[in-house]
Amino acid sequence: MNARKLAFEAIDKIITNKSFSNLAVNEFLNKFELSAEDRVLFTKLVYGTIERLITLDFYLEPYVGQRKQKTWVRALLCMSAYQLIYMRIPDYAVVNEAVELANVKDRHIGSFVNAVLRNFQRNPLRSLDDLDEIGRLSIKYSFPNWLVAYLLKDYDASTIEKILEEFLNEKETGIRINTLKGSREEILAQLDEEQIEYRVAPIGKNALVVTGDIQKSQLFLTGKITIQDLSAQMVAETMDPAPGDVILDICSAPGGKTAHLAALLNNTGVIYACDVYLHKIKLMETTFRRLGVNNVKTQLIDARNLKEHLEPESFDQILADVPCSGLGVLSHKADIKYNLKLGAIEAIKKLQQEILESTYPFVKKGGFFTYSTCTINKEENEAQIKAFLEKHPDFGVVEQKTILPFQYHCDGFFICKMRRK
């Protein structure tokens, strides 16, 4: 099976249907038999093209003209331009393949695709010099104008540029050593035995960074290691639970932070892991079995309706890892930046406030309440905490941190641990 043809079809599907790129990639990889080399090429073409759509459209614009194109033509031209700019593939091979793919779809379009790519190939890339600061950042890093302007409310242009640049860098895989299944020393030795390349991460007590696919390794299959981003590992470590703690994790799926808490507790105490979807509950339970977690009770509960199920002041710690805009995870979820709207952020903020208000009564006096998101805009983070504390002065901040993606080459994250006085 032709990897470029499959990549073209996947990109077209993502653009046309606004499908999630990771789901489309997994669907195609599971459906079609590809060599290891072609799987890498397919994945790179799809993710690379989607990540840089705005940039590629800008560079192609002078050669496409005002003629409105079908989405599949846009997908094909952008994928081809991505190869010509960012990959070491001979120009003639890229153009010839694109023309062949176009002719299969519509033989009248092949000559147009050929002309566009030949002209694009012969000329230097379009200059960004005439753009203002927002426009330059938007085109250079393939980020919508409005979203650049939105983030510039919270960070200076230099910081924004570092963030956006990091989103386009190849993402490393963060893993956590699962101490429920063995000591750090034992598992490091087994990583060496399996010849899995790794390095110790700059944050996280049991965090490593690995190269390659580790999901088929025996260490992963037996639960001795698990994939978890470095910044996400800081949530449980910031909570720092005490042996025997009773903990409520109200938006717990897919369960990575819950399992980390269980490891820190060495399976003592009890953790109630809640989610609103049954299939996510089942997914968590499968994960917990693999990781040897046995102090967790899963609950099908909407975080906004806790009072129907729980007694007030009954938990030593509560974790609210709330739904968010996801602006910290764009290095592996590029679709978010194209599909997100300002109105959606406003709706998310309202949901976060509802969850905070429904949750705090269940923290014991002297207990801890941790709020976290995988986004970096302050309206969903610092501003939410400020408003909550103004309304509930019996809570105070113990520790608050924002992890920006470029600091440790990981996801962007916000964590705030509060204590009920």
Residue 410 has phi, psi (to 5 degrees) of -140, -175
Q: What are the angstrom distances between the C-alpha of 375 and each of 164, 273, 333? A: 13, 22, 12
How many residues are listed for the chain in this entry?
421
Are 342 and 336 in contact by the 8 Å Cβ rule? The answer is no
* Rounded-to-integer distance, Cα 18 and Cα 20, Å: 7
* Rounded-to-integer distance, Cα 6 and Cα 273, Å: 39
Residue 2 has phi, psi (to 5 degrees) of -75, 120
Are 29 and 22 in contact by the 8 Å Cβ rule? The answer is no
Q: Exactly one of 78, 374, 410, 416 is catalytic; which is it?
A: 374
* Rounded-to-integer distance, Cα 160 and Cα 116, Å: 33
Q: Where are the alpha helices (H) located in 194-242, listed in sequence order?
A: 218-221, 230-239
251 is a catalytic site residue: no
Q: What are the angstrom distances between the C-alpha of 133 and each of 148, 152, 157, 290? A: 10, 10, 8, 49
Q: Name which of 268, 27, 53 is nearest 144 in CA terms.
A: 53
Catalytic residues: 374
